């Protein structure tokens, strides 16, 4: 895992077309903004853990 330090307003670039920006620092967390093509699926981990990932769609997990 790559760990980076950023200040409010600074960005991290991923590849040629994805950027992650620190929008605001808050007590107990950080607000981030993500710019990416529509076809790039972006999910919070706790939401993704509820589903089994599929390239075309999200499907309910079967345990």
In this predicted structure, the answer to whether residue 11 has a pLDDT above a threshold of 90 is yes
Section 5-17 average pLDDT = 97
pLDDT given for residue 50 in this prediction: 82
The residue length of the chain stands at 63
How many domains, the chain?
1
Classify the C-alpha dihedral 17-13-35-44 as positive or negative.
positive
Return the higher-pLDDT residue of 28 and 56: 28
Return the higher-pLDDT residue of 21 and 58: 21
Q: How confident is the model at residue 13 (pLDDT cuts 50, 70, 90)?
A: very high
Residue 52 lies in a domain: yes
- For the chain, helix, strand, coil in percent to 5 are 5, 40, 50
The boundaries of the domain holding residue 38 are: 11-60
Residue 17 lies in a domain: yes
Residue 31 lies in a domain: yes
Residue 30 lies in a domain: yes
Tell me how far CA of residue 7 lies from CA of 1, 3, 14, 32, 36, in angstroms: 19, 14, 17, 11, 21
């Amino acid at each position: 895992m790559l760990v980076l330090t950023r200040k409010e307003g600074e960005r991290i670039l991923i590849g040629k077309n994805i950027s992650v920006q620190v929008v605001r620092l808050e007590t107990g967390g950080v607000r981030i903004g993500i710019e990416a093509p529509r076809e790039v699926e972006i999910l919070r981990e706790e939401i993704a853990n509820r589903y089994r990932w599929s390239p075309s769609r999200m499907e309910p997990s079967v345990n």
